[in-house]
Structures are given as C-alpha cells and as structure tokens.
Amino acid sequence: MTRNVVIGFLGTQLDGGLSPARWEKWRPTVSLVQHDDMVVDRVELIHSSQHTALAELLARDMASVSPETEVRLHVMDVANPWDFGEVYAALYDWARAYAFDTGGERYWAHITTGTHVGQICMFLMVESRFIPGVLLQTSPPRRQRQGDPGSYTLIDLDLSRYDALAQRFNQAHTEAQDFLKSGIATRNASFNALIDEIERVAVRSRAPILLTGPTGAGKSHLARRMFELKQSRHQVSGAFVEVNCATLRGDGAASTLFGHRKGAFTGAVADRPGLLRNADGGVLFLDEIGELGLDEQAMLLKAVEDKRFRPMGGDKEVSSDFQLIAGTHRDLRQDVQAGRFREDLFARINLWSYTLPGLARRPEDIEPTLDYLLALAVAEGGRSVRFHAEARQRYLQFAKSTQAPWSGNFRDLTASVTRLVTLAEGGRISLALVEAEIQRLQWFWAREPVAQDEQAVDLDALLPDPLRAGLDLFDRLQLEAVVRLCRQSSSLSDAGRRLFDQSRTQRTVVNDADRLRKYLLKHGLSWDRVTGR
Ligand SMILES: Nc1ncnc2c1ncn2[C@@H]1O[C@H](COP(=O)(O)OP(=O)(O)O)[C@@H](O)[C@H]1O
Ligand SMILES: [Mg+2]
C-alpha cells in the first residue's frame, strides 16, 4: 500500500493557540489528519527552533485525533523567514537531504501554512520536482464548528490543465521573439538561436549589450525593439534615447552626451541635461560607439559603472540609471589593440555581445524577408502588387546566389523592393522588370569598394548538408581559400592554372581544371555553385 506523506511548514498564526479554546478554531495542520476520506500516514512538519513548543503541541494534538499518523518534526532556522533566497536555500537543502521513496510513498506539499515566501518556495520545489509530489491546499469550513476539518484540494502540476498555463508562458516567449524579428519568419537556425537568446537577455538583464554587424543588418532596429519589449513588460520607466556617435564631434560631443551647465563654454547660454540624463530609467542606444573619442569613452565608462557623472562645467555630479545598448560595424577588438578604443570600456560592454549576420550569410531568410517587405510596401503604397511566378523565381534565384552580396543588407533589399513595387505595371512585377532590377543591383554593387579578397566565404551556406558537419578545420581553411581564388578567377582553367602552378611543371599530362573540378566535387561543390556564374 502506498503511504501518504504531507510535507508542510508550521503556521505560526493559523496553527497557533495553546489554550483548550484552540480546538474551536480551524487549524490547517491539525485538519490534515481529521478528514475521513484522506488517510495521512505521516506528517513532516517544518518549524523554527523558536516555535518548538507549538510544534510539539501540534504533534500531540494530531496524535490524539489520528493515532495512526506519525508526525516528525524538523527544525529549519533562517535568519529572515521573509528573505526569499534564504528560505529557498534552506528548503532546497532539506529536500536534497530527504530520503524520498517514490515507490512506496506519495508526497503532498502543504502550501496553506508558512510565510508567503515559504509557500512560494514550496511551490517551486514541487514544480521543479525537487519534492516529487503534488501540492496540497487546505481551506477552513464555511462555518466554524468544532471538529470540522474544512476542505482540501490536491493540485498536480503535471496535469494537462497546468500544462496549458505553461504553454501560455511559452507562447509569450514565442511572441516576444516574433516581435524582435518584426514577424519575419526567418529560417536560419543560427539567427533564430541568436534572437532567442537576445529575447531572454532583453527581458532579464539591465547590463550593457553590444550589437555588431554590417551596416543595414538591423542593429538600430533591434535596439529599439528590445526597448519596446522591455516596455511591454513594464521593465523601463524612461525613454529610448538614440544617437549616432559618428555625428558627435569635438567639444559638442561631451556636452551632447553628458550635458552642460550654463556658461560652461561660449554658447552655453542655458543648462542642458544631455542624452545620458534623458535616458534615465530607460535605454541609451549609442550607435557606432567605435567613433566615440577616448575622453568621452572614459566618461561613459564611469557613468555606466557608477550611474553618476559630471556635466561639462558643473561641479556637482548628477545621476542617471540607464541601460546601455551599443552598436558598431567595426571590430572593436582591433580598435582596442590599435589604441582607438578603451579596453576597460570594451570589457564592460562586451558581456552580452551579439553579431547580426548580413543577409548574404543567411540566404534562406531572403524569401521571408522579401515577402515581409513586399507586404509592407503594398500597405504603404495602398495598391496591391504581386510577382509573376517566374519573375519571383528569377529574383529569388539571383538574390540567394553568391552574385548578390547584399552589402547594404536590409537597406538594399528594401530599396530593391520599393523600386519593383513602384515600377510594376498593373499590379504585376514582370520578368523584364526583375531582369532590369538585377542589372541595376549588379551595377550598384560593382561600384562598392569591397575588395574581393576580403569578402568572407560562407562555407556553411555553400556546402551541402551532410558534408558541412564532417569537415575538419584544416579542410575548411583550405576550401575557403580555394573558393575565394575561384571567385577571383575568370574561368575554371584559369583557377586551376593558378592553384597548381608548381606541380604542373613537373607533370607530363596537365589538366589543372580537372584536378580542381574533382577537388570541389569531393566537397559536393561545382564551379557554378562556388562562383555563382
Ligand atoms: N528585422 C527587421 N525588420 C524590419 N525592418 C528592419 C529589420 N532590421 C532592419 N530593418 C530596417 O532596415 C533598415 C536598416 O536597419 P538598421 O537597424 O538601421 O541597420 P543598422 O543599424 O545595422 O545599420 C531600417 O530601415 C530598419 O528599420
Ligand atoms: Mg544603425
């Protein structure tokens, strides 16, 4: 027979009373053993040493109404029973040390007694299965009558109706991620993992966050969305204040950020609070933080660490409590090495650092992003515009190929969609229009100063699935270099000649192109795939 065991805190108020009159009132812990339809074999009663006398009295009272119930007393002393951390730690230690026998016993965690903090901790123990059981809630009888034990409810958190509650939390989580992605159904696994973590950090942390990535990758957009997400969760009281540090120059920079007192310099005709003050209680987004001067960097570090700083020309410090989000397209690590960026500030903002990948690095997201931008352009323009089927296919084929670097990322794609929508005749984007747009984009990108040999080779996007995982770093590095050289070469033969220019002189039969073709094939690649030609 499975035995029923109740675990609970002694209720110093509800279970209290030493005089005979105590039998006239409802006492939750005693009521546990007074129900005819519920057999309690054992009660584990947790109490502080201060209440030992009361606990012993309760044990005797329970023995008198239910002799078959064993009552065990456990002393648990915490300095402050209202301190969540202390109570949780004490109960956790207790549960870890307790010899649960889930084969022979059933555990009911009584949550009607104890401080609220104790009750919450009891709930958490059950929810996390450190106490492997269900919750037990007791309530007084409607009308107090001696000997009436009132009622009780068992709450099994594993039951599906509580699952539904958990699902609601999960749904909120998914909605927050969708919100950060503007509802674009992105498919790139690493990008989605990135957003998932950013969502958790955004709602849980007030520490500085660093967003890096190429221009147009969405750093500014994401920073504002993070703020809006915090706002929807009541986590900020202040404003979202944004400034691009590249626009701050000279004396004006410090004054714009930290404010100034009237008369601090010629032209300072009135006090100015500065952006840091404006962001009090909110979020300060410093875009292109790499452009900030070294002096301003030092002041910013102090402001972030102490939440205090001195305005220009002021003799008193002012305070501002803001969360810093910094954006940059630069490699700050390199800037630190070159002495252009303070190492201590970098260390401070590098705790949560995220690199947003450019569009070309997540080709599978181009289609959903295209649909999103198309819907947006249509909503703004007020007329319905759609692709012809083959026009859409052609556009996507180009957009996802290595021919399209999307160096301006979101901006480039937005501009491209705007052109297509504006030029579409009769609400249809035709193949001819797409071809013209592709030429325009190619012309545009050909003028970009990005050197081919600096362009990143994204092997993950290139390699077929099964081969991607099994590749050693050694092969990966070699393959990257080969792919880069292919892209710089005019033809397969040209690339072959350059790659094998030593060994070819020592052989009688020369077919460098074939050798290169076989090498690529070994990695599941072809010349066309590598070069996008
Ligand atoms: N996830 C996104 N959803 C919708 N629009 C976006 C998204 N990311 C960027 N954008 C838009 O693309 C443009 C460039 O983004 P932005 O955040 O300014 O890039 P960055 O700051 O990295 O240069 C902006 O007009 C922005 O609103
Ligand atoms: Mg920006």
Query: In this predicted model, what pLDDT tens digit does every residue of 111-157 receive, in sequence order?
Result: 999 999 999 999 999 988 889 999 999 999 988 777 789 999 998 88
pLDDT > 90 fraction of the chain, expressed in percent and rounded: 63
Q: Which of 180, 182, 199, 220 to mutate to test the pocket of ligand 1 (most atoms within 8 A of CB)?
A: 220
Q: Where are the domains of the chain?
A: 3-157, 177-355, 359-446, 455-531
What is the structure's pLDDT at 484? 86
> Is the pLDDT confidence value at 321 over 60?
yes
Q: What is the 3-state secondary structure (H, E, C) of 119-133?
A: HHHHHHHHHCCCCCC
| DSSP output for 242-283 | EEEGGG--HHHHHHHHH-B-TTSSTT--S-B--HHHHTTTSE
What pLDDT was estimated at residue 302?
Answer: 95
Place of tokens 């084969």: 103
Relative to the alpha carbon of 214, which ligand is closest?
1
217 pocket-lining for ligand 1 (C-beta < 6 Å): yes
Give the residue among 365, 366, 360 at the shortest CA–CA distance from 405: 360
Residue of 179, 221, 225 to test ligand 1 pocket, by largest number of atoms within 8 Å of CB: 221
Cα–Cα distance, 472 to 481 (Å, whole number): 14
Categorize the per-residue pLDDT at 509 as very low, low, confident or very high, splitting at 50, 70 and 90.
Answer: low
Is beta strand 308-309 parallel, antiparallel or unpaired with respect to 318-319? antiparallel
Supply the angle between the helices 389-400 and 366-381 in degrees, to the nearest 10. 130
What is the number of other CB atoms lying within 10 angstroms of the CB of residue 38?
15
Question: Does position 515 have pLDDT exceeding 60, yes or no?
Answer: yes
Q: Mean of the pLDDT values across residues 78-94?
A: 92
Is the shortest distance between the CB of 218 and ligand 1 below 6 Å? yes
| 139 vs 465, more confident | 139
Given a contact cutoff of 8 angstroms between Cβ atoms, the answer to whether 3 and 38 are in contact is no
220 lines ligand 1 (CB under 6 A): yes
The label of the residue with tokens 């503007």 reads 182
Q: Quote the tokens at residue 499.
A: 């790659």
Determine what percent of the chain is predicted with pLDDT higher than 70.
Answer: 97
Distance in Å, CA 242 to ligand 1 centroid: 14
Say whether pLDDT at 371 is over 90: yes
pLDDT at site 78: 94
The CB of 181 under 6 Å from ligand 1? The reply is yes
Q: What is the mean pLDDT of the chain?
A: 90
Position in ligand 1 atom list of the atom nearest CA 356: 22
Q: Indicate the angle between helix axes 389-400 and 431-446, nearest 10 degrees.
A: 20
DSSP 333-396: HHHHHTTSS-HHHHHHHTSEEEEPPPGGG-GGGHHHHHHHHHHHHHHHHTS--EE-HHHHHHHH
Q: Which ligand is nearest to the CA of 244?
A: 2
CATH code reported for the domain at 359-446: 1.10.8.60
Band (95; pLDDT cuts 50, 70, 90): very high
Q: What's the pLDDT score for residue 292?
A: 94
Atom of ligand 1 lying closest to residue 224 CA: 17
DSSP assignment of 176-187 equals HHHHHTTT----
Q: How far is the CA of 455 from the centre of ligand 2 (A)?
A: 21
Q: Is 502 exposed, middle or buried (0-12, 13-18, 19+ CB in 10 A)?
A: exposed
Position with higher pLDDT, 488 vs 364: 364
Q: Is 182 in the pocket of ligand 1 (CB under 6 A)?
A: yes
Ligand 1 atom nearest to 287, measured from its CA: 21
Q: How far is the CA of 216 from the centre of ligand 1 (A)?
A: 6
CA of 285 relative to ligand 2 center, distance in Å:
10
Which pLDDT does position 20 carry in this prediction? 92
pLDDT of res. 185: 87
- Per-residue confidence (pLDDT) for residue 143, from 0 to 100: 82
Q: What is the 3-state secondary structure (H, E, C) of 199-219?
A: HHHHHHCCCCEEEECCCCCCH
Q: What is the CA radius of gyration of the chain?
A: 34
Note the CATH architecture for domain 177-355. Answer: 3-Layer(aba) Sandwich (3.40)
Q: How far is CA 232 from CA 176, 179, 203, 229, 485, in A?
A: 10, 11, 10, 5, 50
Q: What is the pLDDT of residue 452?
A: 46
| Ligand 1, atom 26: closest residue by C-alpha | 221
Query: What would the two tokens of residue 527 be?
Result: 């010349």
Rounded to whole angstroms, how far apart are CA atoms 430 and 390? Answer: 8
Could you tell me which CATH class the domain 3-157 is placed in?
alpha beta
pLDDT of residue 77: 96
Does residue 410 have its Cβ closer than 6 Å to ligand 1?
Answer: yes
Choice between 77 and 103, residue whose per-residue pLDDT is larger: 77
Higher pLDDT among residues 173 and 392, named by residue? 392
Three-state DSSP at 136 gives strand
- Rounded to an integer, the average pLDDT of 407-421 is 95
- Encode pLDDT of 277-299 as tens digits: 999 999 999 999 999 999 999 99
Which residues have beta carbons under 5 A from ligand 2 (an ion)?
A: 219-220, 287
In whole angstroms, give the CA distance from residue 216 to residue 220. 9
Bridge pairing between strands 323-328 and 209-212: parallel
- One fold for both 3-157 and 177-355? yes
Q: What is the pLDDT of residue 453?
A: 47
Q: Which atom of ligand 1 is nearest to the CA of 180?
A: 1
3-state helix, strand, coil in the chain (%, to 5): 50, 15, 35
**Hey, which of 181, 410, 411 would you mutate to test ligand 1's pocket, going by the most ligand atoms within 8 Å of its Cβ?**
410
User: Which of the residue ranges 62-76, 132-146, 152-166 has the most confident prediction, judged by mean pLDDT?
Assistant: 62-76
The 10s digit of each residue's pLDDT in 198-256 is 998 998 899 999 999 999 999 999 999 999 999 888 888 999 999 999 998 777 899 99
Amino acid at 413: L
Whether 267 has a pLDDT exceeding 80, the answer reads no
Confirm or reject: Cβ of 403 under 6 Å from ligand 1.
no
In the sheet that 352-355 helps form, which strands lie side by side, from edge to edge?
A: 240-244, 283-287, 323-328, 209-212, 352-355
Among protein residues, the one with the nearest Cα to ligand 1's atom 25 is 411
pLDDT at residue 353 tops 70: yes
Residue 325 pairs in a beta bridge with 209, 285
- pLDDT at 162 exceeding the cut of 80: no
With beta carbons less than 8 A apart as the criterion, state whether 70 and 43 touch.
yes
504 has a pLDDT exceeding 80: no
State the distance from the centre of ligand 1 to the C-alpha of 410, rounded, in angstroms: 6
Does residue 454 register a pLDDT over 60? no
Which pair of structure tokens corresponds to residue 437? 């747009």
Distance CA 418, CA 91 (A): 61
Least confident range of 189-203, 212-226, 258-272, 469-483: 258-272
Residue range 184-198: mean pLDDT, rounded: 90
